[in-house]
Chains A and B, each alone.
Chain A
Amino acid sequence: MNLLDTLLRCVATLVVFLVLPLVIGQTEHKVMAHMQGRLGPMYAGGFHGWAQLVADGVKFAQKEDVVPAGADRRVFRIAPAVALLPYLLVLLVIPVGPDGFVGQAVDAGIFFVLAVMGIGVLGSLMAGWASANKFSLLGGLRTAAQLMSYELPMLLAAASVAMAAGTVSLPGIVDAFHWWWIPWQAIGAFVFFTAGLAELQRPPFDMPIADSEIIFGAYTEYTGLRFALFLLSEYAGIVVVAGLTTVLFLGGWHGPFSDSLGWLWTLLKTFALAFVVIWLRVTYPRLREDQLMRFAWTVLIPLALAQLALTGIVKVAIS
């Protein structure tokens, strides 16, 4: 029974991991298209091009898997897995609904999530270095610098919520949530979401991988399935960041009828945030590399520290 339960939870997480990124990818196709006054994919699958991403997947699988002659073959091949797997592990601990509706409740949930997401950097660095390509190496370095810089405000914002809830377990934080946390933790939510966006290297923070700047950064030399894995890790990252922001700052499963429909609230909030991610992509111009770094160190970190101080003051005042 116990083994079956564990197996079931793992399979469910894997299914979510494989389905939700595709749904968000398709949403991105359509939402971007409509925001830009066009239709987007319309033919694959018949109804509004719903099978476009499936077709893309088949295309990627058919492509030749090229490894550059000068590359470090082994590291080059491992890198996509190192970039992708952390998101799968993180997805396992994000609570969806009340009463144990979670892959695996981890005692130090926030720490686990942020620690494991930090490993993803290694994938980009490995990819950038092993490609034996100057643009890849530069892109990898930019990615590493960006991810290291934005990890700090993300940690500080998460620490603020942990202080407010008095626990570092993710289900515990959602349990402790009250509606007035939303204005109280608003700055932290902004910092966390923005830093998360930068961790994913989504526009407007896509300087390390922007095609008009540096080809495709660390992923320039990748083709076929390995390239698809990097793309998948980006969309899985959107799911993870939107889900984490939901859980930490928007109250997760809280909402009307949360006893029976809690999971629906979590999903709805996650999708709303994923929509915002796509919206920001079509709205804001790309930040230059130096602006990007300055934004992290001179705007987000002071804001996160201010939020931390505010949380501490309110926490002492109400206790």
Chain B
Amino acid sequence: MSTLLAATGSLEPAARSFLSPTGAEVVFLLVGLAVLGAAVVSVTTKQLVHAALWLVVALGGLAVEFLLLTAEFIAWVQVLIYLGSVVVLVLFGLMLTRAPIGRSPDADSGNRWAALLVALAAAGTLVTLVADAFRTSWIDLTAGGGSTRATGEYLFRHWVLPFEALSVLLLAALVGAIVLSRSTSGRLPRPRAGKLRAGKPVGRPAAPAATVPSTAPTAPAQER
């Protein structure tokens, strides 16, 4: 905590002014507007895949915001996790199920007003909380303030316990996901003894079906 407090410098609000913003602050605001716009479009667009792609813009813009706050490491993690994995998984799921090109008018939900309400309430709570917590403090952004070394020392000196608790939570989620995804396969017959690979290889032609037509219909079913 001491490093953060030292970095904040003077806590006097009078010494600072919002009237002469620096270039970085202007860019920060503009990128913030772009993020907001992309997020709104991603919610309101009628095209499913476009919504996911606008999400890419919004999350990428957030990474830029982190960069402008000198939190370099967090920015790359944001890119790695959200752009490289989460959105790709979302797109992957969309394309595996249903991703028509063009508008999909049936994608709207009747709960849109409830969703809007919840979103506004959550946003209001968070903004109030953050604004209240950092009311008059002013953190001077110096280059390297959010470097990997600073972030790592902070994380593993002051916040080790929450970090480990989170990792246990994630592990539990992982195990839970595996259990959920395996529960449907319980009714399938076990693979034959001595045969390690379940299922038929994809590339091989169905040899029994061609040679012995009488037993053919049941043979693939048994193997699965």
Question: Chain A interface (Cβ within 8 Å of chain B)?
Answer: 70-72, 75, 106-108, 111-112, 114-116, 118-119, 121-122, 125-126, 128-130, 132, 137, 140-141, 144-145, 148, 151, 168-169, 288-290
Contact of B144 with A107 in the complex, beta carbons under 8 Å = yes
Q: When A107-B147, A114-B80 are in contact, do A75 and B49 touch as well, CB less than 8 Å?
A: yes
Write the B185-219 contact mask toward A (1 if CB under 8 angstroms, else 0).
00000000000000001110000000000000000
Which of B49, B56, B79, B92 is the one whose CB lies under 8 Å from A145? B92
- Inter-chain contacts of A121 with B (CB < 8 A): 84, 88
| Interface hit among B33-41, B70-78, B127-135, B165-173 | B70-78
Question: Which residues of the other chain, A, contact B99 by a CB distance below 8 angstroms?
Answer: 129
CB nearest to B202 among chain A residues = A290
Q: Are B56 and A122 in contact (CB under 8 A)?
A: yes
Taking a contact as CB atoms under 8 Å apart, the answer to whether A118 and B79 are in contact is yes
Answer whether residue B10 sits at the interface, using C-beta atoms and an 8 A cutoff: no
Complex Cα–Cα for A107 and B56 (A): 24
Q: Are A125 and B84 in contact (CB under 8 A)?
A: no
B interface secondary structure, majority: helix
**Beyond A75-B53, A168-B148, is A137–B95 a contact (Cβ under 8 Å)?**
yes
Identify 12 residue pairs between A and B in the complex whose beta-carbon atoms are under 8 Å apart, listed by A's number: A72-B102, A107-B73, A108-B147, A115-B79, A118-B79, A121-B88, A125-B92, A129-B95, A130-B101, A148-B92, A288-B203, A290-B202
What A residues does B85 contact at CB under 8 A?
A: 118, 148, 151
Q: Which residues of B contact A (CB under 8 A)?
A: 49-50, 53, 56, 72-73, 76-77, 79-80, 83-85, 87-89, 91-92, 95-96, 99, 101-102, 144, 147-148, 201-203
Say which residue of B80, B87, B89, B92 sits within 8 Å of A115 (CB atoms). Answer: B80
Query: Do the beta carbons of B95 and A141 come within 8 Å of each other?
Result: yes
Q: With contacts A129-B49, A148-B88, A288-B201 known, is A106 near B72, CB below 8 A?
A: yes
Expressed in whole angstroms, the minimum distance between the Cβ of A305 and any Cβ of chain B is 15
Partner of A126, one of B53, B77, B92, B147: B53
Bound Cα distance from A288 to B89, whole angstroms: 22
Query: Least Cβ distance of A214 to chain B in Å?
Result: 13
Residues of A within 8 A of B147 (CB): 107-108
B16 vs chain A, min Cβ distance (A): 27
Residues of B within 8 A of A75 (CB): 49-50, 53
Query: Is B92's CB under 8 angstroms from A144's CB?
Result: yes
Please give, as numbers and ranges, the residues of chain B lying within 8 Å of A151 by CB-CB distance: 84-85
Residue of B nearest to A151 (CB): B84
Contacts of A130 in B (CB 8 A): 101
Contact indicator A122/B92 (Cβ below 8 Å): no
Q: How far is the CA of A289 from the CA of B147 in the complex (A)?
A: 40
- For A137, the chain B residues whose CB sits under 8 A away are 95
Cα A137 to Cα B87 with chains together (Å): 17
Complex Cα distance, B199 from A290, in Å, reads 11
Instruction: List, in ascending order, chain B residues with CB within 8 A of A169's CB.
Output: 148
Known pairs A107-B72, A115-B80 / 11 extra A-B pairs, C-beta < 8 Å: A111-B77, A112-B76, A114-B80, A115-B77, A118-B79, A118-B80, A118-B84, A118-B85, A121-B88, A122-B91, A130-B101
Report A-chain residues with C-beta under 8 Å of the C-beta of B89: 148
How far, in angstroms, from A148 to B95 measured CA to CA in the complex? 15
Q: With A and B bound together, what is the CA distance between A286 and B224 in angstroms?
A: 26
A318 to B95 CA separation, bound complex (whole angstroms): 50
How many whole Å from B136's CB to the nearest CB in chain A? Answer: 30
* B79 A119 Cβ-Cβ under 8 A: yes
Indicate if the CB atoms of A108 and B76 lie closer than 8 Å.
yes
Name, among B73, B91, B147, B203, the residue most crowded by chain A CB atoms within 10 Å (CB to CB): B91
For the complex, give the distance between the alpha carbons of A212 and B123 in Å. Answer: 52
- Minimum CB–CB distance from A90 to chain B (whole Å) comes to 12
Q: Which of A119, A126, A145, A289 contacts B84 (CB 8 A)?
A: A119
Smallest beta-carbon distance B87→chain A, Å: 7
Q: Which of B72, B83, B101, B203 contacts A118 (CB 8 A)?
A: B83
CB atoms of A115 and B53 under 8 A apart: no
**Complex contact B202–A288 (CB within 8 A):** yes
**A125 and B73: CB pair below 8 A?**
no
Q: How far is the CA of A106 from the CA of B3 in the complex (A)?
A: 23
Question: Bound state CA distance, A278 and B84, in angstroms?
Answer: 27
Inter-chain contacts of B95 with A (CB < 8 A): 125, 128-129, 137, 140-141
Interfacial chain A residues near B96, Cβ < 8 Å: 141
Distance in angstroms between the alpha carbons of A112 and B84 in the assembled complex: 12
10 closest residue pairs by CB, A with B: A118-B84, A115-B80, A115-B79, A111-B76, A115-B76, A108-B148, A108-B73, A72-B101, A107-B147, A112-B76
Pick from A108, A122, A144: contact of B83, CB under 8 Å: A122
